[in-house]
Amino acid sequence: MRTNVSELRAPTLMSGWYVMLLTAWADAATQWAVNRWENSVVVRGTDAFVAAGPAGLQVYAVSRPSNLRPPALVDLPAGDAVRDLLVADHCTVGIGYKSIQVFDLADPTRPRRLGSLATQYYVADVAVSGTLAYLAEGPSRWNVDIGSQLSVVDLSDPTNPRQVGACPVEGGARSVAVSGHIALVAAGERGLMAIDVNNPAEPTEVGRYDTSGQATDVAVRGHYAYVADGTAGLQVIAISNPLNLVGVGGCNTGGAAAQALNVAARSRSVRVNLLRLM
C-alpha cells in the first residue's frame, strides 16, 4: 500500500486505487497478476506496469481509468516469469524466480524485452544504481536450504546483462538497497549486512549489525537503513560508517514486519510504503 503524506493531515491512498481498477479488467491473466502476492504493479505517470508472472509484462494506460484498454504485452520464453518490477532510469528489470529480465519501456505502447540473465539462486530482490544491478539471491519459500549471495550485474548493454561479481551472504539474502558504494542486505537471522561494491568485480563484506529478529527487507534514506525485522518490528540503523553499523531506534509494529519502510522524497511530496504485516 502506498500513501501520499505530502498533506500530513489528510494522507491519501495512491497506487491501491489503480490496482482496484486493473482488477476490474475482464482478463484472467491480468487478474491473476494483480491478485497473486508475488506480483506487483508499478504506476508511472499515466501508465501502469504489471508483473504478470508467466504471462510476462503488461502495460496499461490509466489516463482514463473508466475506459481501460487491452494492455500492451511482452511475452516471455517458456519457463520464465516476472514476479516483480524495478523501473529504473536506464532500463526496467523484471525479477523472475532464478532469472532477471531487462525491458525497454521508453515507448509504453511498444514495450520490448531486451535481454535476460539466469541466476544461480532464487532472486529475492534487486536494486539498480547507474548501469549496475545488485541481486539479493537466496532462499525462497519453497527451498530454504540453498546458498545465498549478493550478485553484481552489468546492465551497460541491456541486451546482454552479465554477472561481474558476487559476495556470499550468510543467513540468506532477502532484500538489498544501495547507498553510494555500499550495498545493504537484509540477511534473515544474521541481520543487516554491509557490502562494499566500489569494485563491482570483488564485492566485500565490511560490516554487519545483528538485529534481534529476522531481517526480511531493507530501505535506505540518507544515513539510515530501515529494516523490517520480523517479530522485532521496524529497526533503524545508522550506516554512515559501514564498518560500524549502529542501531539507533526501533518500533514495535504489533506483528511480524515483512516489508521495510521506503521513504522517498520527490519534489514537495513524500511517498511512504507502509510496513506490511504477516
pLDDT at 174: 93
Residues of the chain with pLDDT under 50: 1-38, 261-278
Mean of the per-residue pLDDT values of the chain: 79
Task: Answer for the pair 143, 123: CB distance below 8 angstroms, yes or no.
Answer: no
- CATH, range 1-118: 2.40.128
Q: What share of the chain is helix, strand, coil (3-state, %, to 5)?
A: 5, 45, 45
User: What are the two backbone dihedrals, phi and then psi, of residue 43, each rounded to the nearest 5 degrees?
Assistant: -105, 125
**CATH classification (class only), 126-278:** mainly beta
End-to-end C-alpha distance for the chain, whole angstroms: 14
pLDDT of residue 239: 96
At 66 the pLDDT is 72
What are the sequence ranges of the domains in the chain? 1-118, 126-278
Integer Cα distance of 47 and 166 in angstroms: 34
Q: Do domains 1-118 and 126-278 have the same CATH topology?
A: no
Please state, in angstroms and rounded to a whole number, the distance separating the CA atoms of residues 100 and 102.
Answer: 7
pLDDT in tens, 175-189: 999 999 999 999 999
Phi-psi region of 211 (alpha: psi -120 to 50; beta: other; left: phi over 0): beta
**pLDDT value for 19:** 41
pLDDT tens per residue across span 24-36: 443 444 443 444 4
Task: Taking each helix axis as running N to C, give the angle between helix 28-35 and helix 15-23, from 0 to 180 degrees, rounded to the nearest 10.
Answer: 150
Label residue 100 exposed, middle or buried (CB < 10 Å: 0-12, 13-18, 19+).
buried
**What is the model's pLDDT at position 262?**
47
